[in-house]
Amino acid sequence: MPVFPEEPEIHESLPGPGVPFPRESDAQAPRTPASGSATPATPSTVTAAPAPVPGQRPAPGRSAPPGAERPGPKPRPAGIPKPGPRRPAPAAPQAAVQQLTATAAQALDRADEAVDRLLESGRDPGTVLVLTVGEPHPWQRHELSFGEERYWAQLAEGGDVFYADAALTRPARREVVVLVVNGGPADRAAKAFTEARGRAAELLVVCGNAGPAAAAAAAAASRPVTA
């Protein structure tokens, strides 16, 4: 019967000096990752960001120039004074009055003489207006013979002496007005005087009797016809 050689007995190696003997609990305890260690990331699908589209670059902001100062606060407007009581506009000075004594029959001749003296003194014909209380002046009849349109055009043009009735309703104002009292009732003459004075800018010449108001105004003015 064959005899097999006896296997050598294997002994566990003893730990070297300074090495502790292994404990049974160490061999059985499962290994756990240390706290704070990085956990391996689970691979996931990552979407790549789209590439930026090239375009114009934004202009860099400009800083304020050195030494520039911010504007200070705007000055407050001064207090607006409260409006006081309104004063009435000064009345326009009234024209001086010159009265020439004449009867109703003489009034036209005295008016023509007055107009001649005014023109000889240098007055422009377009600054003179002649108004009659009674019958129309012969020059008025002559101008009306060419038609009313042409007649009233002369008033607007202001190039010559204009003759009209004292009851003129159209606006007419000239430097000198000659009022001819050649007839009509006394109240019409007085009213004509008031209206004629409003049309005269400098001088009103009254030929004849236009009532007490005209006489008083002439006495207060005591201004002769410009010669």
Mean pLDDT value of segment 138-147: 96
Domains annotated for the chain, with CATH where assigned, are 96-221 (3.40.50)
175 within 8 A of 202, measured Cβ to Cβ? yes
pLDDT at 79 over 60: no
Nearest to 117, CA basis, from 181, 220, 207:
207
Q: What is the pLDDT of residues 15-35, one digit of tens each?
A: 555 555 555 545 454 555 544
* pTM for this prediction: 0.59
H helix or E strand, kind and range, residue 189: helix 186-199
Q: What is the pLDDT of residues 97-137, one digit of tens each?
A: 999 999 999 999 999 999 999 999 999 999 999 999 999 99
39, HSE (Cβ side, Cα atoms, 13 Å)? 5
- R_g of the chain, CA atoms, integer Å: 62
193 within 8 A of 167, measured Cβ to Cβ? no
Give the model's pLDDT for residue 220.
Answer: 86
Q: What is the pLDDT of residues 188-209, one digit of tens each?
A: 999 999 999 999 999 999 999 9
